[in-house]
Amino acid sequence: MRSFFERKSRDSLQIQGFLLEIVKKYFRLEVEGLEHVPSKGRALIVPNHSGVTALDAVMLGHEIHTNANRIPRIMAHPLWFVGPNIRILAKKIGLEEANKETGQRLLKEGNVVMIFPEGAEGNFKPTAKRYHLQEFKRGFVRMAMASKSPIIPVAIIGAEETNINLSSISLTKYLRGTVIPIPLNVLPLPAKWKIIFLPPISMQKYSVKSAADHDLVHSIANDVRDCIQKRIDEELAKREWIYFPKPKRTR
């Protein structure tokens, strides 16, 4: 019986991988800098966040899994863990509740951990504000300091135009950290994607005591954000075609 379920689990992963490969072709995905993801040991993956549907997390996780042979643990919004049924689903798809204690534990266990410091404010911002990174929450810096994990910034381009978000409604007054998007489309548009893994930032010289230095933590968080924003701006400056391949010149 056990081998039957193990076989079904493997089959499910193969189907999921097959579907994601189709999605990659749909988005004409380019990936750069995967050599910066370590083949073993802890690392904290820190991308920009956008696109409403969290497809950026799925695509990024798939690339790390298939090309770096690592299974990233994705830190997700607490709403994914509000009830036992949702919690079980979240665990099955590799999500972990986004809090400092869980993040530090996973990193100290030698995992690759993915966290989106912009949170819902980045994912659900209106498309009119696309590629303007929101303020980074600073817990990821403290996690990296306490576990001495390298921070690997990641720039994701294309998710902003995949799902158009008109606006958002903040329910923070009633439920902390809750933002509801107002998307224009549910089915993803065929925007061209590019994922860029930037060089790792070593955190070896820091410690748990460093995490108590508010100014230092704030400065590092801003540096990581600025690093990602700079690379995004560079890529956007040379991007010409979003939804369709560039036409080939004919003689």
> For residue 185, is it within any domain?
yes
Question: Taking the mean position of all CA atoms in its chain, how far away is CA 81?
Answer: 18
> For residue 246, is it within any domain?
no
pLDDT digits (tens, 9 = 90+) for 201-248: 999 999 989 999 999 999 999 999 999 999 999 999 999 889 987 777
> For residue 52, is it within any domain?
yes
> For residue 106, is it within any domain?
yes
pLDDT digits (tens, 9 = 90+) for 212-222: 999 999 999 99
> For residue 89, is it within any domain?
yes
> For residue 5, is it within any domain?
no
> For residue 20, is it within any domain?
no
> For residue 171, is it within any domain?
yes
- Beta bridge partner(s), residue 46: 153
Q: State the helix-helix crossing angle for 55-68 and 2-26, rounded to 10 degrees.
A: 110
Stretch among 11-15, 29-33, 213-217 having the lowest mean pLDDT: 11-15
Res. 186 pLDDT band, cuts 50 70 90: confident
Average pLDDT of the segment spanning 52-56: 89
Q: In the chain, what's the furthest Cα-to-Cα distance?
A: 65
Indicate which CATH number applies to the domain containing 92.
3.40.1130
Number of structural domains found in the chain = 1
The burial class, CB within 10 Å (0-12 / 13-18 / 19+), for 190 is middle
pLDDT digits (tens, 9 = 90+) for 145-174: 999 999 999 999 999 999 999 988 876 655
Q: What residues make up the domain containing 129?
A: 29-238
